[in-house]
Amino acid sequence: MFRPGKASLDPEKPRILIPLDTSDESLAALKIAVRLASRMRARLEGLFIEDDNLLRAGELSCCQVVHSVTATASSFDRADMERQLRLAARRARASLVAETSEQGLDWTFRVDRGDVMTRTLAAAMDVDLIVMGRSSGRLGQGQRLSSMSRQLLQGSTAVLVAGSRRYHGSVACLYDGSSLAERALEVSIQVSSRDGGRLLVLLTRSSDGRGRVEELARGKGLEIDFETLPDSQLHSLQSVLHRVPIELLVLPNSLPALIETGMETIASTFDVPVLVIGDKG
Amino acid sequence: MIIGAKTSSPLSPDQLYSRCDPQSLPFATTDEVKNTQGVLGQARAMEATRFGLGIRRPAYNLFVHGPEGTGRHSTIREILDQRAAAEPVPSDWCLVNNFVDAHRPTAIELPPGQGLRLRDAVARLVDELKSAIPSAFEAEDYRTRREAIEETFKERQEVVFAELQERAGQKNITLLKTPVGLALAPVKGDEVINPEAFAKLPEAERNKLEADLELLQSDLQEIIRQLPQWDKERREDIRELNREVTRYAVGHLLDALESDFKLFPAVVNYLAALKTDVIENADIFIARGTENAGQQAMVVAAAGHAEADLAQRYEVNLLVDNALCTGAPVVYEDMPTYANLVGRIEHIAEMGALITNFSMIKGGALHRANGGYLLIDAYKLLTQPYAYEGLKRALISGFVKIESLGQVLSLVSTVSLEPEAIPLDLKIVLIGAPRLYYMLHQLDPEFADLFKVSVDYGPDMDRDEESTATYANVIAGLATKEKLKAFDAGAVARLIEFSAREADYWSEKSSDRTVTAEDVQTAIDTRIRRVDSLRERSHEMITRGIKLIDTDGSRVGQINALSVMSLGGYSFGGPSRITARVRMGKGQVVDIEREVELGGPLHSKGVLILSSFLSGLYALDRPLSLSASLVFEQSYGGIDGDSASSAELYCLLSALSGLPIKQCFAVTGSVNQKGEVQPIGGVNEKIEGFFDICKARGFSPGQGVLIPASNICHLMLRADVVEACTNGDFAIYAVETIDQGVEILTGVQSGVADDKGVFPEGTVNALVETRLRDMADDLRNYSRPPESHNASHDDSHDKMSDGKKADD
């Protein structure tokens, strides 16, 4: 179900999918998505998925909900659950409206029902970028999210995993000379130049992309810093990023460290939003 | 036979004006006067002042009282300034935050100048903390350690939930997140089992699932119950980390400050408390530098609040700053309201509410004058609500406590500040009119205890060489202070009550380098001219014949009395006609002014004395059988005072004796029962008033004024009056008794009774006595039974009968 935020939707605009629920992590991801959409002049597509596992659990008399504030247990049925999900969807939409209204962004919001991962993957197929909230780790959802992000990247979608905090600083982009790195660089320049900001380009020793970077950034009014990494391993990234404050880390999906550790791990390691550029992105 | 009076002599010209000889002054101009200090004839007041100021004990405060214009303010101020300059500079007082009880700010006493130093030092410290603390919290070390704490907490949660999930998974149960909490549900594969499939499960398996669910749910509840405790531990770990970092960041800064003020234990204690507070509340400093993502407006507002918090929390409120003082303070509080005396707690409006903090506490005059002297106008103090009570409370307690009137009167019960009271050591000098002093003494039992020293400024002074010299000093001082030209000896001699400034103006108009006697005279004359329009109108009424005053000829039962009018600080005199009528009666002298309620009590008293005088002199052995009426003709306003009582008596004697009174005279003076003429006020103005009328009509022979002899010393008549008296156009007669006066007025001897009490025939007294005796006889005849009346009294008998009936 689409609910357009503006009368006419520009089909040429990039589309950013933001799966929403009512958690703090989801709200943090929404804020980052709004900033990114503003810089990329993209359309934000909110998605709320009614988990059918919850609806089915409501049909089982043996299931109870343990309230997270009081730790008390109470019975619930399918009707209760549907009502709660409707309310949660309404709150998610209200958050989307509140965050986008100041920026004057195009937005849509829809509610879907089914398996969360399946429906999210399906929705991500059509968009240019999906912004995922970091899992709290409380329910072991980290594993599911990692799995989902891997599948998303396999589907060649750009995936951004939100950090838990917001920092100010440069956009950092790892450039290893690959075609995906080229694309990551383009996106980084696009995101940085909106504010006339700074771009930190992390060059791998094997790449010699300084000239290429300067060529792409010419005329964008950007201040570009370069750092050369001894290799593209995670600890090399850490040594740089712990010194330099950044607001967004853009990585090509071809990075071995990424493939080895998963983007969730990288996001939690640096506590910054990590944007991974797949083939499609 | 009428016996003529011996000719009485008028006063000589030199008795009419007490001249100050410029030659007697020991200087040519006031420029030669070296000592410009001095107080005019106030020896008693000076002695009391020295006594009061010399006793440095509580309650020995001064009440300086005396008439306006006696130099109370300037003199006491001068004395205090001189005295205070030689006394030590009192302490500074600061108010600082009481970190334990914010509603009771702490007062700190410091040597003069140290308060300012402390305030600036703490302000600099806070500025440094504003950058030092955020820097410490932005350091990589801090961030890493904080993240480690957060991570530990997360891991702790993850571990327990992962373990629960693991155990649940082994039992084909999954943990689900719902919008309101967590739920456990049996699964088949990755999906929650549907009800139909669950119902088809073997009962044993279903029961086992339900038992497992119950067990796991119990574990889940236990985990969730533990979460707040773990969160609390996380927060406490972070807080301890914050303390450690802050302690490190601020330690060296505060150590340096403590070292600077180590001689002052109160400051050291305050800095220790400040250090603890900063460590416990470092977030106030961090909030300034932290941006709340995406909410710029709120960030700005939050930063503003953070700044305000800092200002409120760590500011040193310098209540009393004596850094620039060179002696004890002398403060004159021109507007002694309650708040201006004891200080005030100010408020600012914020979001519709009035809020305050200790930095908004302002000291009052008591704070500023502490250690010195505070001058207050008593009248202003008493007319300001609760100001006198507030002052007394401070003096009685020995402390000044800043409280709003609302608190004092319990009108408001909202939470407010109660700053620590400050010990009071000062001398209060109240200045006011004598009636205020006596009224307070009578009505306020605490007044005498608090103001033990009465400084009484007299309204006049003896004129002698010493006071003349002092007067010259004062004039010289005034000329210097007001940047006037010097006054020459003639000007000083001429200056009595008119301002030196006005004389200076007239001197400017002339080319003289000094103010001369002529300048002073011109100032006096022009001042009179500016204000005497009412006098002119009043005299014009007489000269045009609208107000009937005779200045020549003779009339029975009619006399010119003299009265004074004072309006707007200007007094002038003028004559009024008094007439008297007598007839047989019961010894009553009717004061018509009183009958119509135009006469005041003093006037009535004077008239009643007349009856007593008549009875005592003429009717000792018989009833006083007259009925007399006295009236101030053409008087339409109220009159009071007894200065016309002698004139009324002369008028009455004229009416009784049938002797006419010479209308060329005007009379003033009160009289007692024995016929002695007593002094009155405004003698100069009265004489000048009648003189002006006579002069305006053209002098005729014999014109003059009768005054009490005891008023001779008050004579300072205008030069033209003195000149007229010198030329014989006018005369002033001083009389001691009614007998002397009546002889002048009638030209007939008053007559002295012989050994048998008989007055010589033809004298005023004999005529009066005869008339009174006749009246008494007539009255006795009328009072007899009808058969004893002779024929000649038949008509009268009928009249008296009527009268008797009327009386009955």
Beta bridge partners of A107: A44
pLDDT for res A140: 47
Contacts of A68 in chain B (CB under 8 A): 180-182, 224
Contacts of B175 in chain A (CB under 8 A): 139-140
pLDDT for res B352: 79
Quote the CA–CA distance of B770 and B772 in Å, as a whole number.
5
pLDDT for res B5: 61
| pLDDT over 50 at A4, yes or no | no
| pLDDT over 90 at A83, yes or no | yes
Distance from CA of B225 to the nearest CA of A (A): 6
DSSP assignment of B626-682: EEEEEEETT--S-B--STTHHHHHHHHHHHHH-PPEETTEEE--EE-TT-BEE--S-
| pLDDT over 70 at B455, yes or no | yes
pLDDT digits (tens, 9 = 90+) for A59-82: 999 999 999 889 999 999 999 999
Active site residues of B: 643, 686
pLDDT for res A8: 41
pLDDT digits (tens, 9 = 90+) for B178-210: 988 999 999 988 889 988 999 999 999 999 999
Region of poorest pLDDT, from B294-298, B504-508, B614-618: B294-298
pLDDT for res A174: 87
Region of poorest pLDDT, from A103-107, B418-422, B503-507: B503-507
Contacts of B196 in chain A (CB under 8 A): none
| pLDDT over 80 at B502, yes or no | no
- Which DSSP helix (H) or strand (E) runs through B503? helix B500-509
- Angular region, A271: left φ>0, alpha ψ -120 to 50, beta rest: left
My answer on whether A20 and A127 are in the same domain is yes
Mean pLDDT of B285-308: 52
pLDDT band, residue B393 (cuts 50/70/90)? very high
Beta bridge partners of A112: A49
Amino acid at A246: I
| pLDDT over 70 at A154, yes or no | no
pLDDT for res A73: 92
pLDDT for res A58: 93
pLDDT for res B2: 56
The size of the A-B interface in CB pairs under 8 A is: 110
- State the burial class of residue B128 (Cβ atoms within 10 Å of its Cβ: 0-12, 13-18, 19+): middle
pLDDT for res A254: 77
Mutate to test the interface with B, among A27, A38, A56 (most CBs of B within 10 A): A56
Contacts of B179 in chain A (CB under 8 A): 21-22, 84-85, 87-88
Residue A237 resides in a domain? yes
| pLDDT over 60 at B444, yes or no | yes
pLDDT band, residue B151 (cuts 50/70/90)? confident
| pLDDT over 50 at B804, yes or no | no
Q: B423 by DSSP, 3-state: which? A: strand
Instruction: Give residue B785's Cα distance to chain centre.
Output: 71
Most confident of B90-94, B434-438, B804-808: B90-94
pLDDT digits (tens, 9 = 90+) for B321-343: 999 999 999 999 999 999 999 99
Residues B758, B759, B761, B766, CA torsion sign: negative
| Mean pLDDT over the full length of chain A | 80
Asked whether the beta carbons of B579 and B642 are under 8 A apart, the reply is no
Please choose, from the candidates B270, B346, B245, B280, the residue with its C-alpha nearest in 3D space to the C-alpha of residue B97: B270
Beta strand pairing call for B626-632 and B570-584: antiparallel
Provide, rounded to the nearest whole percent, the portion of chain A with pLDDT above 90: 24
Distance from CA of A183 to the nearest CA of B (A): 28
Contacts of B183 in chain A (CB under 8 A): 54, 57, 63-66, 76
Of A60, A81, A168, the CB nearest to B198: A60
Residue A153 resides in a domain? no
Residue A255 resides in a domain? yes
Region of poorest pLDDT, from A109-123, A264-278, B767-781: A264-278
Distance from CA of B217 to the nearest CA of A (A): 8
pLDDT for res B305: 57
Q: How many domains does chain A have?
A: 2
pLDDT for res B461: 66
pLDDT for res B786: 67
Residue A159 resides in a domain? no
My answer on whether A129 and A175 are in the same domain is no
My answer on whether A26 and A119 are in the same domain is yes
My answer on whether A110 and A179 are in the same domain is no
Of A85, A139, A242, the CB nearest to B175: A139
Mean pLDDT of B640-661: 91
pLDDT for res A163: 64
pLDDT for res A194: 62
Residue A162 resides in a domain? no
Amino acid at A95: S
Contacts of B220 in chain A (CB under 8 A): 66
Residue A158 resides in a domain? no
| pLDDT over 90 at A145, yes or no | no
| Mean pLDDT over the full length of chain B | 84
Mean pLDDT of B80-107: 93
Residue of B157 and B407 predicted with greater confidence: B157
Residues A128, A133, A137, A139, CA torsion sign: negative
| C-alpha triplet B709, B715, B716: angle, nearest 5° | 175
Scored b (16 or more CB within 10 A) or e, B281-304 reads bbbbbbbbeeeeeeeeeeeeebbe
Mean pLDDT of A165-184: 79
Residues B354, B360, B364, B370, CA torsion sign: positive
Quote the CA–CA distance of B408 and B400 in Å, as a whole number.
13
Host domain of residue A32: 15-50+83-133
If you measure CA to CA, which chain B residue comes closest to A87?
Answer: B179
Distance from CA of B128 to the nearest CA of A (A): 24
Mean pLDDT of A165-190: 80
Of A63, A87, A168, the CB nearest to B184: A63
- Angular region, B410: left φ>0, alpha ψ -120 to 50, beta rest: left
Quote the CA–CA distance of A19 and A154 in Å, as a whole number.
19
If you measure CA to CA, which chain B residue comes closest to A271?
Answer: B147
| pLDDT over 70 at A6, yes or no | no
Residue of A129 and B560 predicted with greater confidence: B560
| pLDDT over 80 at B500, yes or no | no
Contact between chains at B161 and A138 (C-beta distance less than 8 A): yes
pLDDT band, residue B220 (cuts 50/70/90)? very high
pLDDT digits (tens, 9 = 90+) for B47-63: 888 888 887 778 899 99
Of B154, B187, B221, the CB nearest to A137: B154
If you measure CA to CA, which chain B residue comes closest to A115?
Answer: B191
My answer on whether A184 and A100 are in the same domain is no
DSSP assignment of B213-270: HHHHHHHHHHHHHHHHHHHHHHHHHHHHHHHHHHHHHHHHHHHHHHHHTTT-HHHHHH
My answer on whether A21 and A129 are in the same domain is yes
pLDDT for res B59: 82
If you measure CA to CA, which chain B residue comes closest to A76?
Answer: B183
Region of poorest pLDDT, from A43-47, B136-140, B596-600: B596-600
pLDDT for res A195: 58
Contacts of A54 in chain B (CB under 8 A): 176, 178, 183, 192
My answer on whether A129 and A20 are in the same domain is yes
Of A53, A73, A140, the CB nearest to B192: A53
Contact between chains at B191 and A115 (C-beta distance less than 8 A): yes
My answer on whether A27 and A121 are in the same domain is yes
Residue of B566 and A84 predicted with greater confidence: A84
My answer on whether A181 and A241 are in the same domain is yes
Residue of B382 and B414 predicted with greater confidence: B382
pLDDT band, residue A259 (cuts 50/70/90)? low
Residue of B10 and A11 predicted with greater confidence: B10
- The CATH number of the domain holding residue A123 is 3.40.50.620
Contact between chains at A71 and B175 (C-beta distance less than 8 A): no
ipTM of the complex: 0.80
Provide, rounded to the nearest whole percent, the portion of chain B with pLDDT above 90: 45
Contacts of B140 in chain A (CB under 8 A): 242
Contacts of B194 in chain A (CB under 8 A): 56, 59
pLDDT digits (tens, 9 = 90+) for B352-387: 777 888 888 999 999 999 999 999 999 999 999 999
Residue of B7 and B689 predicted with greater confidence: B689
My answer on whether A181 and A121 are in the same domain is no
My answer on whether A104 and A211 are in the same domain is no
Residue A147 resides in a domain? no
Residue of A156 and B699 predicted with greater confidence: B699
Mean pLDDT of B716-722: 88
My answer on whether A128 and A230 are in the same domain is no
Mutate to test the interface with B, among A30, A66, A146 (most CBs of B within 10 A): A66
Contact between chains at A63 and B178 (C-beta distance less than 8 A): no
Residue of B373 and A214 predicted with greater confidence: B373
B192 and chain A in contact, CB less than 8 A = yes
Residue A66 resides in a domain? no
Distance from CA of A273 to the nearest CA of B (A): 14
B149 and chain A in contact, CB less than 8 A = no
Asked whether the beta carbons of B76 and B430 are under 8 A apart, the reply is no
Contact between chains at A115 and B198 (C-beta distance less than 8 A): no
Chain B 214-243, residues with CB within 8 Å of chain A CB atoms: 217, 220-222, 224-225
State both tokens at A211: 């000239």
Please report the domains of chain B, with CATH numbers, ordered by start residue.
22-40+461-531 (no CATH), 42-90+329-459 (3.40.50.300), 117-313 (no CATH), 536-788 (3.30.230.10)
Mean pLDDT of B466-485: 73
Distance from CA of B227 to the nearest CA of A (A): 9
| pLDDT over 60 at B125, yes or no | yes
| C-alpha triplet B201, A84, B295: angle, nearest 5° | 140
Distance from CA of B192 to the nearest CA of A (A): 5
